[in-house]
Chains A and B, each alone.
Chain A
Amino acid sequence: MLPYLAKRLLLLLPTVLVPVTLVFLMMKLAPGDPAAVILGDSATPAQVNALRERLGLDDPLLLQFVEFLKALVTFDLGESISLGDPVLSTVLSYGVVTLQLTVFALVIAVLLGATAGVMAALFHNRAIDKVTMIGAVMGVAIPEFWLALLLILAFAVTLRWFPVGGYVPMTEGVFASLETLFLPALALGLVQAAFIARMTRSAVLDVVGEQYIATARAKGIAWRDVLQRHILRAASVPIVTVIGLTAAVLMGGAIAVEMVFSLPGLGRLLIQAVTRRDYPLIQGIVLIVAVAYVLINLVVDLVYALLDPRVRYE
């Protein structure tokens, strides 16, 4: 296990370097002169040139890349043009909201999706299976933002169980915070739950038909243990794969849901940054999201190795 972990961590560096390079190139290729954008419309060409000099925009591309990497290593992502604050701290403070939302949604998606999937598989071709799968197909088909609106209409406007929007930080009360996050997390989580349910169902169905399950039953192992220790153990690998995918997709879905519920998350920050052409900020957000993707993949790979000895063996 340890050599595997070391190998995976070592591979992390080149993996992170790819999105970092892409973000750098994206900024260079983007139309418009950053110096002109920063100074605004009233700037004179002399002022723009002076700023270009100061920002090193006239240096060779490779040199600029090295400077960019140097700054990254010291966690310096520059300053936001529109807000004037350091990019990193801004991105992190908005990122916390998105992280909470995503984790909450993931918990809902996994609990609901995995349970429904296992039930559907165990009652294969029976009523539970059919109802669950119809629900799952509908769930996969519904866009998050629309589901978000429906949930607001039902639970916030009509029933008044939850706030319509807004955000209370964890530091001002965990319960109040969860209350503001519940509907957005549900909107995000339900769609992914549907996805996980379908995957779990087929994974469990595959494993139930395996010879080694017949072996366990021939040994007289109690059905509960056959399910928990034999079936779910083997089905866990594809389920973890889909959960990893889900975690990544959730970050994308979070953007829309954050807008609907006016949550101060990365999604809203990104849209602000784009509309104001705040390049350093866009760069910072894209970078953080890319790194998060890479980290999620790493976690999934490590979980694989924990679950399946054959992965460690390679």
Chain B
Amino acid sequence: MTNNSSLVASPSAADPVLSVQDLSVSLPVRGSMLEAVGEVSFDLRRGQIRGLVGESGCGKSITATALMGLLPPGSTTTGRADLEGDDLLGLSRAAREQRNGRKLAMIFQEPMTALHPMLTVGYQVAEGMRKHLGVGKREARERGIEFLHRVGIGSPARIWGSHSHELSGGMRQRVMIAMMLACEPEVLIADEPTTALDVTIQAQILDLLQELVQDSGTAMLLITHDLGVVAEHCDDVTVMYAGRVIEQGSVQQVIHAPKHPYTVGLLKARPNREVRTQKLESIPGRVPTLDMMPSGCRFAPRCPRAQDTCAEEPGLLPQGHEHQYRCWYPVEEGVTK
């Protein structure tokens, strides 16, 4: 994937399948509306894998649920999210039910709880196809079994009639992947798809996802807190902090020449195979809660480089560039290595 991503990375590249512009999400918290995510913009092109990275509570999953129309009742959104001419944020329920599963789909973090405990695997895999592709029961079964085979399930015909409690975590996540890719959506959102799995299974599932997405040309938004996963599987990356995009660009740019002190901190907090003796660094403090957001740069209270200017929130700069960052005092190249 990285081989052709350098070809399509130029501004004249193919139009994006999904274009998120200035998305903001407010959630009802104890009677008042609090902004959980704001000024989020990014594009997804066919076959592209974009990592969405950040600590817990930074708005990654809220962004994903907003795109899927799965926000809790009472939430509000502004901005646009264009998918093939539709604004995902303004869809009616009926229109949403036409798009979800067919145009965009989502894989959840916990395969243990994401499958219905009382319905058979087959029913759940076939359900979407029967609705969106209008296929009959038998054809859905044939296609579904083929899909289960493609996601690496050994005896798909047997698994078809089983229930989720009879499967291992890895198997369940494979079923989930088959279920969500069965209608060949344009966009797949994977919300930490391997966090709940054994380490040995994690790599397998990520490789599988990458392979399937490349084969079908589906664009994938891969939500993770693991920059290693990003470096290995993604073309581009968006780093979020406290509800804002604080840096985004190609993996090459962001991982190897990070500009935002937060990204630098995240990179330093990763175990490094080459330098074993070095003690892992951590970012002091924690992500502010929704009702305690700093008024200026949201990272300033934890930032080693913060100065008076940081009392005012910076924009995402430089405009029009592929590599953008939200910082008054970006880190110069070479600092992290």
User: Which residues, 58 to 85 on B, are CB-close (under 8 Å) to A?
Assistant: 68-70
Could you say which of B112-120, B138-146, B241-249, B294-302 contacts chain A?
B112-120
The contact string, 1 if C-beta is below 8 Å from chain A, for chain B 161-194, is: 0010110000000001001100000000000000
Collect the chain A residues with CB atoms within 8 Å of residue B97's CB. 220-223
The answer to whether residues A210 and B118 also contact, given A218-B68, A221-B131, A310-B163 and a CB cut-off of 8 A, is no
Question: Quick check: B113 and A219 within 8 Å, CB to CB?
Answer: no
CB distance from B114 to the nearest CB of A (A): 5
Within 8 Å of chain A (Cβ to Cβ): is B100?
A: yes
The 8 Å CB contact of B106, one of A218, A221, A225, A233, is A218
**In chain B, what residue has the closest Cβ to A307?**
B118
Query: In the complex, A220→B128 CA distance in Å?
Result: 7
The 8 Å CB contact of A233, one of B69, B115, B118, B132, is B118
The answer to whether residues A215 and B166 also contact, given A221-B128, A234-B117 and a CB cut-off of 8 A, is no
CB distance from B182 to the nearest CB of A (A): 9
Query: In the complex, A307→B116 CA distance in Å?
Result: 12
The contact string, 1 if C-beta is below 8 Å from chain A, for chain B 125-140, is: 0011001100000000
Collect the chain A residues with CB atoms within 8 Å of residue B101's CB. 218-221
Within 8 Å of chain B (Cβ to Cβ): is A130?
A: no
Query: In the complex, A223→B101 CA distance in Å?
Result: 14
Question: Quick check: A220 and B131 within 8 Å, CB to CB?
Answer: yes
Within 8 Å of chain B (Cβ to Cβ): is A52?
A: no
Question: Quick check: A212 and B114 within 8 Å, CB to CB?
Answer: yes
Question: Quick check: A212 and B96 within 8 Å, CB to CB?
Answer: no
The contact string, 1 if C-beta is below 8 Å from chain A, for chain B 147-163, is: 00000000000000001
Looking at B99, B114, B128, the one whose CB has the most chain A CB atoms below 10 A away is B114
The 8 Å CB contact of A219, one of B69, B110, B117, B180, is B180
Collect the chain B residues with CB atoms within 8 Å of residue A206's CB. none
Question: Quick check: B131 and A211 within 8 Å, CB to CB?
Answer: no
Question: Quick check: B116 and A218 within 8 Å, CB to CB?
Answer: no
Question: Quick check: A221 and B127 within 8 Å, CB to CB?
Answer: yes
Interface of B is mostly: helix
User: Which residues, 36 to 74 on B, are CB-close (under 8 Å) to A?
Assistant: 68-70
Interface of A is mostly: helix
Within 8 Å of chain A (Cβ to Cβ): is B30?
A: no
Query: In the complex, A212→B123 CA distance in Å?
Result: 13
Question: Quick check: B163 and A309 within 8 Å, CB to CB?
Answer: yes
Query: In the complex, A310→B117 CA distance in Å?
Result: 8
Question: Quick check: A211 and B114 within 8 Å, CB to CB?
Answer: yes
Size bin of chain B's contact surface: 20 to 34
Collect the chain A residues with CB atoms within 8 Å of residue B325's CB. none
Question: Quick check: B113 and A220 within 8 Å, CB to CB?
Answer: no
Question: Quick check: A229 and B119 within 8 Å, CB to CB?
Answer: yes
Question: Quick check: A211 and B128 within 8 Å, CB to CB?
Answer: no
The 8 Å CB contact of A212, one of B69, B99, B115, B128, is B115
Query: In the complex, A308→B124 CA distance in Å?
Result: 15
The 8 Å CB contact of B98, one of A220, A307, A308, A313, is A220
Query: In the complex, A64→B38 CA distance in Å?
Result: 82
**In chain B, what residue has the closest Cβ to A218?**
B106
Query: In the complex, A230→B115 CA distance in Å?
Result: 10
The answer to whether residues A218 and B105 also contact, given A211-B110, A309-B165 and a CB cut-off of 8 A, is yes
The contact string, 1 if C-beta is below 8 Å from chain B, for chain A 279-314, is: 000000000000000000000000000011110010
**In chain B, what residue has the closest Cβ to A226?**
B97
The answer to whether residues A217 and B128 also contact, given A222-B97, A223-B97, A234-B117 and a CB cut-off of 8 A, is no
Task: Sample 27 A-B pairs with CB under 8 A, ordered by A number.
Answer: A211-B113, A212-B117, A215-B115, A215-B176, A216-B127, A218-B70, A218-B180, A219-B105, A219-B128, A219-B131, A219-B180, A220-B97, A220-B98, A220-B99, A220-B132, A221-B128, A223-B97, A225-B127, A230-B119, A307-B118, A309-B118, A309-B165, A310-B117, A310-B163, A310-B165, A313-B163, A313-B166
17 new A-B pairs (CB below 8 Å) besides A211-B108, A216-B116? Answer: A211-B113, A211-B114, A212-B114, A215-B114, A215-B124, A215-B179, A217-B68, A218-B68, A220-B96, A220-B132, A223-B93, A229-B119, A233-B119, A307-B118, A309-B163, A310-B163, A313-B165
